[in-house]
Amino acid sequence: MSPAGRPPAAGPHRRRAALAVLWSTLRRGTPPGTPGVEERVRSVPALVSDTVAGRYRGPGRARLAGAALGLVYLLSPADAVPEAVLPLLGLLDDAAVAAWAAGALLSATEDYAGWRSRRTDPPC
């Protein structure tokens, strides 16, 4: 508690801690036979490139842009509901954005990995 009797303000360090917990949970929760989190994260640049170029029609540009904006929101110091003003609501809005962005990226990268494994490239 702070001297004023309120919980300490949650800043970027709390967000980083929450993202670290999310990352740890995701790493342990990858089902057998699906790509691991590290492999999925490494595939994001190729996913974006193939989507923008029109080779892959999976999540669509709008969904990728939404996930990117969600990640930017989480990493930026600006906050729609500041934790210092409304601690519980401030953390809940960050958690909702993190859950949506993580779910969107995990779903998109899993679908993309399946598409890449089924795709047959013509011989060079």
**Is 120 inside a domain boundary?**
no
Rounded to whole angstroms, the maximal C-alpha distance in the chain is 70
> Whole-prediction pTM value?
0.62
**Is 80 inside a domain boundary?**
yes
**Is 62 inside a domain boundary?**
yes
Query: Looking at the 3D structure of the chain, how many domains does it have?
Result: 1
Task: List CB contacts of 91: < 8 A, sequence separation 6 or more.
Answer: 10, 14, 18, 83
**Is 68 inside a domain boundary?**
yes
pLDDT tens sequence across 32-90: 777 777 888 888 899 989 988 889 988 777 888 888 888 888 888 777 777 777 878 87
**Binning pLDDT at 50, 70 and 90, where does residue 123 land?**
low
| Residue-range definition of the domain harbouring residue 58 | 44-110
Radius of gyration of the chain (CA): 18
